């Protein structure tokens, strides 16, 4: 019986959030006195799969069916369920991503399992229990949840755990076939649009995000966000009012009803910081807020705050970043 970790790929590599989930899964396996196995789907380089050994994964089951290059929930669920059955896995670990949440909930139904999302702690297993802590109320509180079903499914909050790097450790890779049929792809999306910033950085995976709000006064001033993002190698984002006014496309909207991000650095320019926006960014490791209103709510959540005019401050930041890059 092993702990099974579902890892997501992007451009042939393993996503950072999945590396964190793999490290989490391997630590859970150590607690339970067993090993951690990963299941990978779609187009991932074999070197990236073997390197999962650095996160404590001993074996990787890989289904390379070409149809799995595009996310289809029912097909992914069938593959992961097959891997869980093969490994007799009773603990399944995912990243708390859009894909992880969708697949995790379906697996909980299929396997009659208990599901905890947004998990921020390793389980407490004293007395035969399996209790995890998860963020609730948009990250404003935490709840201890006992998973009581035989199968336990955990979706790990991004940036809650460091991805281990035990250099030299490798995982073995084995082929997996879930014997997928056309029926498993009946609910496949007709079109998938992958939007990125000018620098080619996908917003959900970005390590640095530069975001703008109504304080920029109009789309004609958005070059400030784009120029700072370009020099930092960052993705660009915006608040909901900005996308509602069509200053920026909806796929850049970050918040409770938009995209959730968890970068190492989130820079908010001219954003007041309503709770709906904070819900989408509170997993960021460091938050920097630039706003001329010293009473802006965002300052309460910021690690660093700059009170002042963005039209004066941002150009200076751009020049300082350029100087450091030389």
291 labeled binding residue:
yes
Q: At 12, is the secondary structure helix, strand, or coil? A: strand
253 labeled binding residue:
no
70 labeled binding residue:
no
* CA nearest to 163, candidates 45, 53, 89, 267: 53
3-state helix, strand, coil in the chain (%, to 5): 35, 25, 35
Q: ∠ CA 219-222-224 to the nearest 5 degrees? A: 155
275 labeled binding residue:
yes
User: Alpha-carbon distance 57 to 297, whole Å?
Assistant: 42
101 labeled binding residue:
no
Q: CB–CB of 315/300 below 8 Å?
A: no
Place of tokens 């963020």: 135
14 labeled binding residue:
no
Bridge partners, residue 18, by sequence: none
User: Alpha-carbon distance 6 to 90, whole Å?
Assistant: 13
274 labeled binding residue:
yes
272 labeled binding residue:
yes
Q: Which residues fall in the annotated binding site for FAD?
A: 214, 270-277, 291
Binding-site residues: 214, 270-277, 291
């Amino acid at each position: 019986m092993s702990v099974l970790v579902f890892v997501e790929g992007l451009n042939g590599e393993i996503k950072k959030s999945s590396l964190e989930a793999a490290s989490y899964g391997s630590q859970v396996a150590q607690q339970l006195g067993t090993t951690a196995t990963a299941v990978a789907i779609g187009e991932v380089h074999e070197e990236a799969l073997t390197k999962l050994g650095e996160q404590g994964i001993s074996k990787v089951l890989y289904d390379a069916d070409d149809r799995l290059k595009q996310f289809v929930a029912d097909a992914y669920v069938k593959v992961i369920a097959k891997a869980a059955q093969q490994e007799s896995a009773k603990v399944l670990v995912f990243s708390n991503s859009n894909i992880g949440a969708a697949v995790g909930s379906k697996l909980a139904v299929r396997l009659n399992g208990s599901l905890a999302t947004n998990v921020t702690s390793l389980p407490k297993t004293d007395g035969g229990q399996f209790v995890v802590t998860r963020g609730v109320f948009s990250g404003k509180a935490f709840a201890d949840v006992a998973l009581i079903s035989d199968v336990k499914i955990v979706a790990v909050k991004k940036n809650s755990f460091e991805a281990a790097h035990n250099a030299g450790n490798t995982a073995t890779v084995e082929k997996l076939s879930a014997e997928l049929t056309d029926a498993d792809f009946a609910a496949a999306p007709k079109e998938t649009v992958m939007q990125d910033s000018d620098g080619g950085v996908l917003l959900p995976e970005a390590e640095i995000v530069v975001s703008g709000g109504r304080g920029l006064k109009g789309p004609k001033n958005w070059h400030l966000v784009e120029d700072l993002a370009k020099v930092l190698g960052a993705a660009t984002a915006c608040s909901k009012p900005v996308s509602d006014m069509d200053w920026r496309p909806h796929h850049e909207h970050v918040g409770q009803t938009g995209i959730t991000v968890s970068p190492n650095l989130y820079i908010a320019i001219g954003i007041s910081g309503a709770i709906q926006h904070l819900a989408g960014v509170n997993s960021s490791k460091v938050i920097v807020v630039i706003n001329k209103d010293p009473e802006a709510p965002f300052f309460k959540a910021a690690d660093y705050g700059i009170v002042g005019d963005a039209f004066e401050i941002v150009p200076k930041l751009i020049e300082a970043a350029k100087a450091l890059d030389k």
